[in-house]
Amino acid sequence: MSVTAFLTDSTLCIGCKACEVACKEWNQLPSDGFDWKGFSYDNTGQLGHSTWRHVKFVEGGVIPGQGGNSPENFSWGFSSDVCKHCENAGCLEACPTGAIVRTEFGGVYIQPDVCNGCAYCVVTCPFGVVERNRADGRAFKCTFCYDRQKEGLQPACATACPTESIKFGEIGELRQSANQRLAKLQDDGFTDVHLYDPQESSVGGIHAFFIVRGDPKTYNLPPQPEVPTTYLRKGWISAGIAAGLMLAGTLFAFGKGSLR
């Protein structure tokens, strides 16, 4: 089986939300409602237990060469967000029940029938993707359409995208395609485009990378995501040193007492 990935090109996204609808329809997820939130036309708001694909509305302006939002050059940008399926997944490492597994396609999958609702995965996700369903306590996120992949089908979101903003395929080929697209955009004058794929961070790369304009933080993509479990080594070292000092102090105290 080949390791697969998503490439989401925000420069091609038109904000139609077809990916959201296809994801909800295929996975039988409930609606998020159609309430006006007062700050955006985006009704879903963010990724969550019932929203596994979320088209983010980046409202503001983009200054070529600088990026970010600017009132002097107002524009709307869109980008379809999803679970990153990290190479080093904090949720998988923290799960105490084995509910979260790595599939043969490289995706990170939560088995709903094994999840006990402890929420360790929620607090250890560097991207804030995983969320508990308050109705039953279990955690949910994008499954990478594991059921469709097993049948040789593409994920529902990539199939439904009318502009091919969401591409799906073998991870190495997609990275090559992403770099080619980035180079073309830069040649065309888009000097503020970036490929978001933090391979140098502790997550070790992601299986859902993004081409974005301006600051990636605007798209809820942290510049240096960290897997919380990377700090365990420092903690254990500090605990070991403290325990050693306590033992040495105890031995010294007993040794000094026995000499009297």
The residue ranges of the chain whose pLDDT is under 50 are: 62-71, 235-236
CA angle 6, 174, 83 (to 5 degrees): 20
Domain that residue 113 falls in: 4-226
The answer on 255 and 149 residing in a single domain is: no
pLDDT for residue 247: 64
Do 141 and 242 reside in the same domain of the chain? no
The pTM of the full predicted model, rounded to 2 decimals, is 0.81
**What ranges in the chain are assigned the alpha helix state H?**
18-27, 90-94, 120-124, 146-150, 156-160, 171-187, 232-258
Do 170 and 200 sit in the same domain of this protein? yes
56 shares a domain with 29: yes
Question: Is residue 146 located within the same domain as residue 33?
Answer: yes
Instruction: Tell whether 206 and 237 lie within a shared domain.
Output: no
How much is the pLDDT for 44? Answer: 81
CB 157 within 8 Å of CB 80: yes
Q: Please indicate, yes or no, whether residues 251 and 190 belong to a single structural domain of this protein.
A: no
* Six-digit token string for 152: 């040789």
pLDDT on residue 18: 95
pLDDT at 153: 96
What per-residue confidence (pLDDT) applies to 158?
96
Residue type for 126, please? Answer: P
CATH number of the domain that residue 165 is part of: 3.30.70.20
Q: Do residues 246 and 201 share a domain?
A: no
pLDDT tens digits, 113-128: 999 999 999 999 999 9
pLDDT at 68: 47
Tell whether 26 and 114 lie within a shared domain.
Answer: yes
What domain count does the chain have?
2
- Note whether 202 and 255 are same-domain residues: no
CA 108 to chain centre: 11
- Considering the domain architecture, whether residues 81 and 206 belong to the same structural domain is answered as yes
- Assess whether 222 and 239 both reside in one domain: no
- How deeply is 212 buried, as exposed, middle or buried, from its count of CB atoms within 10 A (0-12, 13-18, 19+)? buried
